[in-house]
Chain A
Amino acid sequence: MGKLSKLPKLYLAFVFIILYTPIFYLLYYSFNSGGTMSGFESFTFEHYAAVFEDTRLIMILINTIVVALLSALVSTAIGVLGAVTITFIRKKALRNAILSMNNILIVSPDVIIGASFLILFTLVGVKLGFASVLISHIAFSIPIVVIMVLPKLQEMSPSLIDAAIDLGASRRDVLTRVIIPFIKPGIFAGFFLALTYSLDDFAVTFFVTGNGFSTLSVEIYSMARAGVTLTINALSGLIFIVTLLLVFGYYAINRKSKNPFSGVRK
């Protein structure tokens, strides 16, 4: 491909500046000793200290991480089993029907998911709080895991399974010793995406969380509605670092997965 001329380069630079300005703006003012996001007074770590001193905020942080890890684990397990079974369904119509069901939650607006889950939990009698948030996060992460795992399964040659069965492997062996090792990169990708979906979710949690339980997104929302506090900025600094680590972790795993079987590019 030809080299870029000046104008496109300028345009790309402009897009990148717009994309990153808000993030660095937040980070910059997290070090401001003044109380607002305008007029930098002097450098300070006090807002970071405030985050760590606020036990309520720390509890919310722990809640968020626990919900994210648990929901990612459970949804990965259910999603992988689901994806494996979907590929074994021979009737094409049935398979497509299940796949479109799978995708409904991916394309549904969060407000709908939140509202309908709220009705569901109230009707079944699940108390709004940790349980309802965890269950909803599991529910909306499952289809993502399935979507990430399915391409890997379709890549797998069926003769691998036939060979394993011919060699006397049981159904369980086929799953744990042949299929799962092969689709591992897809499983990891699904797990990571589920993790970030859960960490990022606001709308669904907002609907199904009761009074006593809160996650970071919901907490930031109520703080932001009350006005600017630089504690949020300090929090964003911490979250930014964690996010970067997650992104690089995700890409490291994806890159590794590219080599052995020269899979599809993500």
Chain B
Amino acid sequence: MNAKPTRFLSFVPYAAWIVLFVIAPIALITYYSFFDLAGNFTLENYRNFFTSIYFKLIVNSFWYAFLITFFSLLFAYPTAYFLTKTKHKQLWLLLIIIPSWINLLLKTYAFIGLFGLYGPINAFLEMAGIGQHQLLFTDFSFVFVAVYIFIPFMILPIFNSLDKLNPALIDAAQDLGANAWTTFSRVTLPLTMNGVKSGIQVVFIPALSLFMITRLIAGNKVITLGTAIEQQFLVAQNWGMGSTIAVFLILFMFIIMLFTSGSEKGAAGSGKIK
């Protein structure tokens, strides 16, 4: 066609976006990871990264991200499963999604009050005879709040895959003599694995790099890759070291995506996580 130039003219802003805000940032992060505070080219950052302090940090991050993803999945799957069986399932799903639209900071802030020393949870514990406990700034509160924030994004893709499941398959399994558990573990679960995978993807990667919830709820007790990057960039002003950690986070991200992709529709779960 002769109109080719104009076609590409309309593509210029988008192409410029890809170059400037997708390729350039990753390239810059990688480039900066080779420089120390004084601006000299060095591999020192990478050497530092492989010391025991950072190794502990990585293990820590992965452990918390694993816990958060695990508990989200544990509670999200039955929720999604039961939701598909309710009468007005789209309405109920909407009600699950609404909290995820509320500003993240506000929800986290609410837990500062809820878990506070004089908050309702502690009042309840006292009534139950357990007594007051310091709930804020503990591992428990950190994982709980993170699961609370992420669970709608786990429910959504699982709900979608359960909703698409052909009910005739369940009937067939039952007709062939499978009991409820066998039907679930051999038919329902394998067929909704794609939903589970995209749910894990949209929870695990952000969970690895949390820093706001970590700071507000866990105080300085929990250090993750996210808090380390924030610390290096905004407090220590050591962009080189921050970039090195970021490079590894990007690598982990690609590895996780490789493991959890496999469905083209995976990302379409509208993962609205920040």
Contacts and interface: CB of A to CB of B under 8 A. Distances in A.
Interface string B132-172: 00000000000000001001100000000000000100000
Contacts of B225: 111
Contact of B249 (A98, A111, A232): A111
Contact of B242 (A115, A151, A221): A115
Interface in B5-62: 6-8, 10-11, 13-15, 17-18, 20-26, 28-29, 32
A94 to B, nearest CB: 12
B148 A220 contact: no
Contacts of B272: 193, 196-197, 200
Contact of B105 (A15, A107, A147, A220): A220
Interface in A213-257: 216-217, 220-221, 224-225, 228, 232, 235-236, 239-240, 243-244, 246-247, 251
Given A36-B118, A197-B272, A228-B113, A120 B208 contact: no
Contacts of A111: 209, 211, 225-226, 229-230, 246, 249
A116 B25 contact: yes
B79 interface: yes
Contacts of A112: 29, 209, 229, 246, 249-250, 253
Contact of A109 (B120, B209, B234): B209
B116 A38 contact: yes
Interface in B190-239: 201, 205-206, 208-209, 211-212, 215-216, 225-226, 229-230, 233-234, 239
A11 B82 contact: yes
B7 A221 contact: no
Interface string B75-94: 10011001111100000101
Contact of A224 (B15, B116, B216, B243): B216
Interface in A80-118: 81-82, 84-85, 88, 98, 101-113, 115-118
A109 B14 CA distance: 21
A202 interface: yes
Main secondary structure of the interface of B (DSSP, over half): helix
A26 interface: yes
B116 to A, nearest CB: 6
A101 B206 CA distance: 19
Contact of A200 (B32, B118, B257, B274): B274
A112 B244 CA distance: 11
Contact of A139 (B17, B113, B249): B17
A19 interface: yes
Contacts of A1: 84-85, 167
A207 B26 contact: no
A81 B11 contact: yes
B255 interface: no
Interface residues of B, number: 88
Contacts of A193: 270, 272
A107 B205 contact: yes
B250 A22 contact: no
B29 A8 contact: no
A163 B177 CA distance: 55
A14 to B, nearest CB: 9
A224 to B, nearest CB: 5
Contacts of B233: 115, 118, 207
Q: Pick from B10, B116, B230 the residue with the most CB of A within 10 Å.
A: B10
B120 A116 contact: no
Interface string A128-166: 000000000001101000110001000000000000000
B173 to A, nearest CB: 15
Contact of A247 (B24, B32, B98): B98
Contacts of A26: 106, 109-110, 113
B125 interface: no
Given A102-B22, A110-B274, A200-B274, 12 more contacts: A1-B84, A4-B85, A11-B82, A16-B96, A36-B113, A38-B116, A85-B11, A101-B18, A106-B267, A107-B257, A113-B25, A115-B246
Interface of A: 1-4, 8-9, 11-12, 15-16, 18-23, 25-26, 29, 36-39, 77-79, 81-82, 84-85, 88, 98, 101-113, 115-120, 123, 139-140, 142, 146-147, 151, 171, 175, 193, 196-197, 199-203, 206-207, 216-217, 220-221, 224-225, 228, 232, 235-236, 239-240, 243-244, 246-247, 251, 266
Interface of B: 3, 6-8, 10-11, 13-15, 17-18, 20-26, 28-29, 32, 75, 78-79, 82-86, 92, 94-99, 101-114, 116, 118-120, 123, 148, 151-152, 167, 201, 205-206, 208-209, 211-212, 215-216, 225-226, 229-230, 233-234, 239, 242-243, 246, 249-250, 253, 257, 267-268, 270-272, 274
13 contacts: A21-B114, A22-B107, A38-B118, A107-B271, A109-B208, A112-B29, A115-B246, A119-B28, A119-B239, A200-B103, A220-B103, A221-B212, A224-B108
